Structure 1
Amino acid sequence: MINVEDIINKIKLSKQSQVSILVACFIVIGIAQSKYLIDLLQIADLLKTYLPYISILTIILISFILGIPVYDISKNYYIGYCNKKNIESYLKQLTEDEKNILRVYINETKRSHPFHMSDGIVAGLINKNILYRATFTGIPGSHNFPYNIQDIAYNILRSHPEYIANE
């Protein structure tokens, strides 16, 4: 099966190359549309023979170059959408211990809080992409590290406090 991402990665061009090809395509289109330039460059016979091929190649190149950013934007949007749905799904099914940890962030309206590095509940929330370790250097004199809550999780919990309400 053809994988679009593999094709794009194999023929990925630098931004400068993309702009250069795009400009070249527009120059070719401009020359082909100008009777004066065709006569000046004496390429009427050449255009009669090769214009269909040049036109097809130009359309393909323009589509490819303009398609890359559209593909990247839509892919990133889709990944963000799926990530939000996964996090929201996890937040709806929290254990009481996980709720206790997340209440610290919401009740104190802060984005970072220190926890012991071997806390299994925190590790579970990291695996669910709800928390992340803010730094790899801990708090001096302790085994605690600052853990931040993901922006998506924070915003969901602020708008749905029932997800972390006491049972």
Structure 2
Amino acid sequence: MKHTLSVVVEDESGALSRIAGLFARRGFNIDSLAVGPAETQGQSRLTMVVEGDDQTLQQMTKQLDKLVNILQVLDLTRLPAVERELMLLKVSASSTQRSVILDLVQVFRAKVVDVADEALTLEVVGDPGKLVALEKLLKPYGILEIARTGKVALERASGVNTEILKTISGDGRFPA
């Protein structure tokens, strides 16, 4: 199972290396990693996606908590959270295909950020499933290049779990 961890660390040289080393020593692969400044000066937030069973991840979380400069470790996997990722995608777009591709781009609320004679570069932000869906639809046109950020995530302050909301039928009731 894939787990999304949110880790707040003090900004200090080598902090990321120690965290990555902890996972590497235990044979874990980090599928996605995004790092940036947190809400407090002198702190950074790491959002990591790693694969493993619940027991192993619980052990890894305890190991992370023991590292110097780790201020908070939160497994967002089963918590209501907002998750986003950014993808830049360059797709082949001849003049005959361009209008169809632009229609797809609108459906996914992607932006065209560069136009060339035979290609379009798109920017799309959303949950990872949205990015995969757009990539799959554009593949027949010829994807030339892709660059994706790692997932970033925050626990929902509202506590509303949108995954549960997706299971509610159109009339607002839970399915039978």
- TM-score bracket, shorter-length normalisation: under 0.3
Higher relative contact order (CA 8 A, sep 6+): 2
Structure that is richer in strand per residue: 2
- Structure with more of its chain in helix, by fraction: 1
Under a length normalisation based on structure 1, what TM-score does the superposition of the two structures give? Answer: 0.21
